[in-house]
Structure 1
Amino acid sequence: MPKFSWHTDPVPAGLAVRQVYGFLFVPDGRLLIRLDGSKHTLPGGRPEPGEVTYSEILRREAMEEVTVDIGEPYYLGYQCVDDGISPYAQVRMAALISRSHPPAPDPDSGRTYRRLLVHPSKAGDLLAWGETGYLQATAAAEAAVAVLGLSADDLPPSGEL
């Protein structure tokens, strides 16, 4: 069974980045969660040939999976996945959603994902990623206030985008 650990420093040289996921916030402070059936996750995915930065990957994945434009992403850290064979990194970023488009099928899967807006404090439970998930959600909520300029006060209730 893989082991997961959360790190806020840069991804070490030589550790492959296999995924980039984003904690995407709307201006009122709610967080976008992607729904795939009953599974809750963040928008994101694998790097494609020619993509050089984590920001490029996240921007593409945000549009493909949940049809939103985002502002400049902020690096939160990475989750190291040690599968016992070849450890790799899953980068996590935070960004503001600048524009929402009507839902459309993901070009990779053909599925149209539902988008749920939640209070950031619910992310750890919904993602069900264990302790590292709670650490990531906390880092994202802190960055939303400190870096993205969102207010932690008077957040509206959850709902669909």
Structure 2
Amino acid sequence: MTTTSVPGELPGSAMTDEAYGALRASAALWVGTSVLITNQFGQVLVQHVDYLNTCLLPGGAVDKGESPARAAARELGEELGITAAPNQGLAVDWVAASSTSAPAAMRFPGELLHVFDGGVWDDDRIGEIRLPPSEITAVEFVEPARLPELLSPPDARRALSALRARINSAGTALLENGQPIAPSALDRLGVLQTARPTYRYPWHQGPAPDGLAVAQVWAWLFAPDGRVLVLLDPETGVAVLPGGKPEAQDQDNPVSTLLREAEEEAAARLERPLFLGHVTDPSARRGYYRYAAALTSIGPARPDPATDTTYARVLATPEQAVQLFDWGPTAANQLAAVHQARKHLGIPHAVPQPVTELTGSTTW
């Protein structure tokens, strides 16, 4: 019996089964699996282990005859005492033999590493974690920007790429040595490479109380397809909603602040602003107002006169946008108010889709 489907083989040539098997065996790779888990703050679960000076995501080697998904479930049970069956792939990473510092005696042939989505764990689920007597010494949830500090460089690249793929809603990302072969807008703009500013303040729907100092006026600005405009700092990848600080020229009118800031930061024009509510910093009696409005146009990008920063402008679903901020569990309440306003504005619910960058002018 002969085999002809050998990569690089000339048409019409043939190999015996034994020769073909030897060729395939010589190109064999290890197979590994890991699981990306986050908490309600968007922080990533990492494991401290007793055999490395770096942390790891939950996971390990795929055993002989075992599928990567079954290996992921087994590792969750062995390492965290959790019964789960991850079935959504976030990334598959081709790890070159030359990309690691593996000792020669290990004869590392390269690896295919599957990253599965372990989901968002609430406090009850986290409380179920039970560590084994050895190997895993502790677990913690960390800001994504800390992954390069805690994990090895290849593991950090892979984890960040997988997390961006989860946010991007574009299916499983294909990686080479932790880097996407087709980088998304989130990858190109370095989203989550810098710690997200923390605004874990209470959400209040409806009018703000008298005497509350207005520190910021931000808005959820909707494109006709239901996605919203998000601004990304090109140096840090940090995300903000359009808006900013009130100035004297605004004459204590939050809508005037919003219209001015949206034009200055994003060259964005809008109509029908609706007041959603506010978040408050109780320690300082400061309020951060939130509006919703329909976008009418986006002009050419230009520097913000207040910061000289030319923001990258992306469209994301409201659910994707929330994941770019560190607002804590109360973000869900704000998101519900956003969707109420969207319905009032007659704008459809955005279908899951990749985040896209706006590089030119657009009129709706």
- TM > 0.5: yes
Gaps of 5+ in 1: none
1:107 matched residue in structure 2: 305
Aligned CA distance change for structure 1 residues 108 and 5 (closer, same or farther; 3 Å): same
Q: Do the aligned residues in 2 keep the contact of 1:124 with 1:130 (CA within 8 Å)?
A: no
Matched, 1:15 2:212: yes
Q: Provide the identity percentage.
A: 37
What secondary structure is seen at the aligned counterpart in 2 of 1:111? coil
Q: Do the aligned residues in 2 keep the contact of 1:55 with 1:72 (CA within 8 Å)?
A: no
Aligned CA distance change for structure 1 residues 100 and 132 (closer, same or farther; 3 Å): same
Structure-to-structure mapping, 1:31-110, within 5 angstroms: 31-36=228-233, 37-51=236-250, 52-83=252-283, 86-110=284-308
2:356 matched residue in structure 1: 159
Q: Do the aligned residues in 2 keep the contact of 1:29 with 1:155 (CA within 8 Å)?
A: no
Q: Do the aligned residues in 1 keep the contact of 2:274 with 2:293 (CA within 8 Å)?
A: yes
How many corresponding residue pairs? 158
TM-score where L is the length of structure 1: 0.90
Q: Do the aligned residues in 2 keep the contact of 1:15 with 1:89 (CA within 8 Å)?
A: yes
Residue 138 of structure 1 aligns with an amino acid whose one-letter code is A
Q: Do the aligned residues in 2 keep the contact of 1:30 with 1:156 (CA within 8 Å)?
A: no
TM-score where L is the length of structure 2: 0.41
Higher relative CO (Cα under 8 Å, sequence separation at least 6) belongs to: 1
Q: Do the aligned residues in 1 keep the contact of 2:206 with 2:275 (CA within 8 Å)?
A: no
Alpha-carbon distance between aligned partners in 1 of 2:256 and 2:276, rounded to the nearest angstrom: 16
What is the CA-CA distance between 1:151 and the residue it aligns to? 1.1
Alpha-carbon distance between aligned partners in 1 of 2:331 and 2:259, rounded to the nearest angstrom: 22
Q: Which of these residues, 125, 129, 148, is aligned with residue 345 of structure 2?
A: 148
What is the CA-CA distance between 1:154 and the residue it aligns to? 4.2
What secondary structure is seen at the aligned counterpart in 2 of 1:50? helix
Alpha-carbon distance between aligned partners in 2 of 1:25 and 1:60, rounded to the nearest angstrom: 17
Aligned CA distance change for structure 1 residues 3 and 123 (closer, same or farther; 3 Å): closer
What secondary structure is seen at the aligned counterpart in 2 of 1:138? helix
Alpha-carbon distance between aligned partners in 2 of 1:15 and 1:138, rounded to the nearest angstrom: 23
1:121 matched residue in structure 2: 319
What secondary structure is seen at the aligned counterpart in 1 of 2:272? coil
Q: Do the aligned residues in 1 keep the contact of 2:220 with 2:338 (CA within 8 Å)?
A: yes
Task: From the two aligned structures, give the one with the greater strand fraction.
Answer: 1
Aligned CA distance change for structure 1 residues 71 and 2 (closer, same or farther; 3 Å): closer
Aligned CA distance change for structure 1 residues 11 and 71 (closer, same or farther; 3 Å): same
1:108-148 CA distance string (max 9 Å, x none): 00010001111122122112211233322331122112x11
